[in-house]
A and B are shown apart, each in its own frame.
Chain A
Amino acid sequence: MQEIAGQFALTRARRKQTFAPGFAVACLGFCLVAALLVGWQPLQLSVATVFLFAGPHNLVEFRYFLARMPARWGRSKLFYSVGLGGVGLLTTAYVLLYALGQSWYLNDAAWTVGIALWNTALLLWLAVLVYLRGRQTRRRDWSWAFAAGFLLCAGAWLAPVWCSLALVYLHPLVALWFLDRQLRRTRPHWRRTYHLCLAALPLVVALMWLRLAHAPALPADDALSWRIAQHAGAGLLPGVSSHLLVATHVFLETVHYGVWLVLMPLLGLGARLWRTDRIALAARRAGWRRVVQAALVLGVCLVLALWAGFAADYATTRDIYFTFAMAHVLAEAPFLIRLL
């Protein structure tokens, strides 16, 4: 009897250890409040969230990537070369494509082909990264990445603009994967709770869709509102309320900012956010201590410049930000694949 009671107590203790109610309540509470607010005023919150959090979240991501970067690449030399080289090339190509699209050098057909080519390069780059990562462990055969990559490339040529829209909606979700990897390292006993929260996220989105399915389209009286709606896919989905589309996009972006600005620093970096002695690249004797410090200071300056730009001319700065922000979207890929 005593044995059974002892076992019961042990199970309860273990369950207590693997469940973090405070974390669950905070996560779900944040998601629900964000969904309610965003559903109520999507345009205003889109402007506000990008203004406040776009720059700082990039800085935290950059700090995280610095911490994840090994001082010596060793066996991963090819992986990091392809990864970081791809980030540079694809970002340059994207900025060029955007700049040409703004001028009269590209007509509609050329623009579509340009986007399709860029999407193809992105997908093949991802396939190569997955394959290279798989090659680092003997047990893994990740050559399926090419089959999947080519299949997605076919989709990217059939519907190039849909592929770009998918990137807009999928990118915020990548942060959730990073958080899972971080929890695995620092708080493995919270992962079960986190997975439950993740399972609840589609429910929150579904509730939001039910509420906003018949909401009237957002007023697109000015160029900024129109661009925000177009960014969320209102031009591609004329049958869907633009209120719902913008709200969904802003909600996902808010979750993305929440993960990078609140959860990642709390769970991973903590007070070490500004300490460079814990960064492998800077800590070694022959490390790039000053380069890392200068990069972080430059990052802070860029955040301040972005805020100043937003305050001076929000619409133009937003356009410029979303063009160059492609670099951080791309940079997430090699670091995430490296964590798998």
Chain B
Amino acid sequence: MKSLLRVCALGALLLLALAPARADVPRPRGDKPKPQGADITTQMHIEPNYKATEARLLIPRVVWQQMRAGLDGDAAPAAGATRFFTLGAAQTAMAGVFLSLAFACGGVWLVRGRQRPASKLTRAALGLALVALGGAGAGIVYANAGPPPVARSLTSQILVPGAQPYGVYGRVKVEFTDDDYSQITLILPTKDGKPGEE
């Protein structure tokens, strides 16, 4: 009983010591802690509009509320969750390795299955289904072919060559909208106010 008490007391002491010890650990990087909760990732659309008379940045209220709510608390995992299908090189490599392993194991299973004639039909059906699934996947990939690469992401490539070294700047009216979609829109007036002209 006495030794149990000692162990408990030691455990409690260790737990008490943990908090200051953790507080003394330097931050992984030397920079200031970032307010993680305020970061959100969302879509942006740049829209040339011949009816517009001035540049307007439309922020949906939903996005604004998410940013405000994110500031209320630390939401690191949630911030991670908002990352929208960003694929790193390591991710691609690992996915490739597992895909290869899946095909290898599937093949071994099919070969082993040849010894069981009763299940031949099932395996053939499964093989056909896989091919059909792959074909459908390829169809979706091509059917979704979007605009050219330059128009798919917001980089300096969308600027005219003359503006590349400096960027562009000017006045913008910031407005909040009640749209349901979490997409920020930047409306740019076209030069002469005519459709299709920049």
Contact = CB atoms under 8 A, between A and B. Distances in A.
Interface of A: 98, 101-106, 108-109, 111-113, 115-116, 120, 141, 143-144, 146-151, 153-155, 157-162, 164-165, 214, 216-217, 219-223, 225-227, 230, 235-236, 238-239, 241-242, 315
A95 to B, nearest CB: 12
- Determine the main DSSP class of A at the interface with B: helix
A157 B113 contact: no
B176 interface: no
22 contacts: A98-B77, A104-B33, A104-B76, A109-B88, A112-B80, A120-B94, A141-B112, A147-B103, A147-B106, A147-B109, A154-B94, A154-B98, A160-B91, A164-B81, A220-B62, A220-B65, A220-B66, A223-B72, A223-B73, A226-B69, A227-B78, A230-B81
B95 A111 contact: no
A219 B43 CA distance: 19
B80 A217 contact: no
A164 B77 CA distance: 11
Nearest to B41: A235
Contact of A102 (B74, B96, B105): B74
A191 B87 CA distance: 44
Of all A-B residue pairs in the complex, the 7 with the closest CB atoms, nearest first, are A226-B69, A150-B102, A238-B182, A147-B106, A235-B82, A223-B72, A154-B98
A225 B36 CA distance: 18
Interface string B110-122: 0011001000000
B24 interface: no
Nearest to A229: B66
A217 B74 CA distance: 22
A147 B180 contact: no
Contacts of A223: 69, 72-73, 75
A147 B102 contact: yes
A238 B69 contact: no
A230 B102 contact: no
Contacts of B98: 120, 150-151, 153-154, 157
B180 A216 contact: yes
A109 B84 CA distance: 12
Interface centre among A149, A153, A226 (most CB of B within 10 A): A226
A111 B80 CA distance: 7
Interface string B171-189: 0000000101111000000
Contacts of A157: 91-92, 94-95, 98
A101 B102 contact: no
Nearest to B34: A104
B140 interface: no
Nearest to A114: B80
A242 B62 contact: yes
A315 B69 CA distance: 13
Contact of B28 (A105, A159, A225, A227): A105
Given A144-B106, A150-B101, A241-B180, A101 B80 contact: yes
A238 B105 contact: no
Interface in B148-192: 178, 180-183
A236 B65 contact: no
B129 interface: no
Given A108-B83, A222-B72, A102 B77 contact: yes
B53 interface: no
Given A101-B80, A157-B92, 16 more contacts: A101-B76, A102-B76, A112-B80, A113-B90, A143-B112, A146-B101, A146-B109, A150-B105, A151-B106, A157-B95, A223-B73, A226-B69, A226-B72, A235-B66, A238-B42, A238-B43
B79 A146 contact: no
Nearest to B39: A108
B55 interface: no
A221 B103 CA distance: 48
Contacts of B106: 144, 147, 151
Contacts of A149: 102
Contacts of B85: 159, 162
Contacts of A219: 65
A309 to B, nearest CB: 17
